[in-house]
Amino acid sequence: MSETCIDAVVIGAGPAGALAARGLALQGHSVWLVDKQSFPRPKVCGCCLNQYAITSLERVGITGLVERLGGRPLERLHMIAGGRSADVPLPRGVSLSRGALDGALIEAAKLAGADFIDGVSAKVQTLGGTAEEGHRVSLGSGNSVVARVLVIADGLGGSSLSAVEGYRVETAPASRIGLGGVTRSPVTQPTIPRGTIAMACGQDGYLGVVELEDGRLDFAAAIDAAAIKQAGGIAQAARRLVEQSGLGDHDWPMDDVERWRATPALTRTRKRIAGPGLFVVGDAAGYVEPFTGEGMAWAIAGGSAVSEVASEAVQKWDTSQEIRWVERHRARIRNRQAGCKLVAATLRRPWLTRVVVRSLSAWPGIANPLVRRIAAPATASDPAPTPYTREGSFA
Ligand SMILES: Cc1cc2nc3c(=O)[nH]c(=O)nc-3n(C[C@H](O)[C@H](O)[C@H](O)COP(=O)(O)OP(=O)(O)OC[C@H]3O[C@@H](n4cnc5c(N)ncnc54)[C@H](O)[C@@H]3O)c2cc1C
């Protein structure tokens, strides 16, 4: 049995956790970034980074990363529904595998001074009353750590806070679930046009496919849970979505997917996302649906922003820190989730989806206001947290 005391423990090493850990380490704190899975780990995701995600990385000094990792530029969303299709132009996005992106963000956190511990499941045991007392987190095998500050970034379905009162997660009734997988081998000839996210929309949900930096294809879907049972499995349900879209004959290599995986219910809210010396961020703070491909952007922006208020809490806990995190989260993330909710509601009505696709094919420009809103770059109204504005501090 061993116990260590540390400034901050960040639970979950996806984009939200890695950026929170990096931000805290850059401010001179001792940080453990803990993940229950061994990296690189599989993650159901559409792997599309939008302009907000890329500019949010740039605002915290991570410039040129997606280009260095070979991210494939994305120019359009090709929507298919009811046998018709339409193209929506996209501003400055890229497709990039989660292995490459998450690995690079963890490296950035390590470079800033954070310790990364993977393959260890963390669970919050008790919450303390002051920063000096700290919060106790169990790390399995009889080990635990006491942290002055906790950042919870354990994603969809994370249960690291389940033993603590008041932080319950509520899933929306009839929420869709996610499913997806990546092909074993790179495509030898283009199955979807370069720079395209192809999205097949059916009555049970929608399935997107993009080419990754190494030529493999990433499939990701949101689907009614009952449809998986009816289809007889995850892979079968994914194929049925493509049939329902009316795409017809296609050469999407769905049989080559290494392993189809499913997620817990997607649409969820956490009633409380901050407490004394405790901040929740990324999917763990609430999620909508993936059609607009924004979850990583919210995680990146949130993970970077939380480090400033969490850093203050390392010194002393103050209720103003909780209030500020709730307000910032609302301003940066919750408000942006509104557009996604609207699109998700439309996609629940197959007849309306068909009308939208028909309208888009006739007047592609009608999507521009929504696309501009969703993918708006991080700007001065999204102020970069102070550690990154201090000259040279993010080297
Ligand atoms: C079908 C689908 C398609 C999507 N497509 C896109 C897209 O194209 N573009 C986009 O921007 N977003 C997309 N998203 C959303 C995106 O995947 C998430 O929003 C993003 O990964 C959230 O990052 P995060 O850091 O909050 O959580 P995650 O990336 O999920 O990381 C959480 C981490 O916490 C770890 N963890 C959990 N419990 C514990 C524990 N007890 N102890 C230690 N570690 C723990 C997990 O192992 C995991 O590594 C999609 C999501 C789905 C489901």
CATH code at 86? 3.50.50.60
Distance, CA of 296 to CA of 71 (rounded, Å): 15
- 117 belongs to a structural domain: yes
**Centre of ligand 1 from the C-alpha of residue 100, in Å:** 14
Arithmetic mean of pLDDT over the chain? 90
- 36 belongs to a structural domain: yes
Are 259 and 129 spatial neighbours (Cβ–Cβ below 8 Å)?
Answer: no
Backbone angles phi, psi at 337, to 5 degrees: -70, -15
Higher pLDDT, 12 or 337: 12
User: Mutual orientation of helices 98-112 and 15-26 as an angle, nearest 10°?
Assistant: 20
Look at the chain and report how many structural domains it folds into: 1
Beta bridge partner(s), residue 145: 4, 137
Residue 392's pLDDT band, with cuts at 50, 70 and 90, is: very low
- 153 belongs to a structural domain: yes
Instruction: Answer whether residue 344 shows pLDDT above 80.
Output: no
**Centre of ligand 1 from the C-alpha of residue 242, in Å:** 24
Q: Which residues of 203-216 are buried (b: 16+ CB within 10 A; e: fewer)?
A: bbbbbbbbbbbeeb
Residue 394's pLDDT band, with cuts at 50, 70 and 90, is: very low
**Centre of ligand 1 from the C-alpha of residue 34, in Å:** 14
Average confidence (pLDDT) over 252-274: 94
User: Atom of ligand 1 at shortest distance to CA of 39?
Assistant: 49
Lowest average pLDDT, out of 46-50, 160-164, 219-223, 368-372, goes to 368-372
Residue at 64: amino acid letter: G
Nearest-CA residue for ligand 1 atom 9 is 293
- Picking from 283, 355, 227, 313, the residue whose alpha carbon sits closest to that of residue 45 is 283
Are 280 and 167 spatial neighbours (Cβ–Cβ below 8 Å)?
Answer: yes
Average confidence (pLDDT) over 327-331: 88
Helix ranges (DSSP H) in 4-97: 15-26, 51-59, 65-68
Strands (E), 82-159: 84-95, 115-118, 123-126, 135-138, 144-152
Pairing mode, strands 3-11 and 144-152: parallel
To test the pocket of ligand 1, the residue of 10, 32, 35, 57 to mutate (highest count of ligand atoms within 8 Å of its CB) is: 35
Looking at the chain, the whole-number percentage of residues with pLDDT higher than 90 is 72
Q: What is the pLDDT of residues 221-233, one digit of tens each?
A: 999 999 999 999 9
CB atoms near residue 272 (< 10 Å): 16
- 219 belongs to a structural domain: no
- Look up the domain containing 310 and give its range: 3-173+266-389
Q: How much helix, strand and coil, in percent to the nearest 5, is found in the chain? A: 35, 25, 35
**Centre of ligand 1 from the C-alpha of residue 99, in Å:** 12
- 365 belongs to a structural domain: yes
CB atoms near residue 133 (< 10 Å): 14
- 223 belongs to a structural domain: no
**Centre of ligand 1 from the C-alpha of residue 15, in Å:** 8
State the pLDDT at residue 292: 74
Per DSSP, the three-state class of 202 is strand
**Centre of ligand 1 from the C-alpha of residue 283, in Å:** 6
Q: Which residues of 304-327 are buried (b: 16+ CB within 10 A; e: fewer)?
A: bbbbbbbbbbbeebeeebbebbbe
- 345 belongs to a structural domain: yes
Nearest-CA residue for ligand 1 atom 19 is 295
Are 336 and 294 spatial neighbours (Cβ–Cβ below 8 Å)?
Answer: yes
How far are the Cα atoms of 58, 306, 330 from residue 388, in angstroms, in the given order? 10, 13, 22
**Centre of ligand 1 from the C-alpha of residue 153, in Å:** 9
Nearest-CA residue for ligand 1 atom 29 is 14
Average confidence (pLDDT) over 66-71: 97
Which residues have C-beta atoms less than 6 Å from ligand 1?
Answer: 11-17, 34-37, 41, 43-48, 53, 121-123, 153-156, 158, 160, 178, 180, 220-222, 263, 266, 282-284, 290, 293-297, 299
User: Atom of ligand 1 at shortest distance to CA of 160?
Assistant: 41
Are 9 and 122 spatial neighbours (Cβ–Cβ below 8 Å)?
Answer: yes
- 254 belongs to a structural domain: no
Residue 337's pLDDT band, with cuts at 50, 70 and 90, is: confident
User: Atom of ligand 1 at shortest distance to CA of 297?
Assistant: 11
Q: Which helix or strand (DSSP H or E) is residue 104 part of?
A: helix 98-112
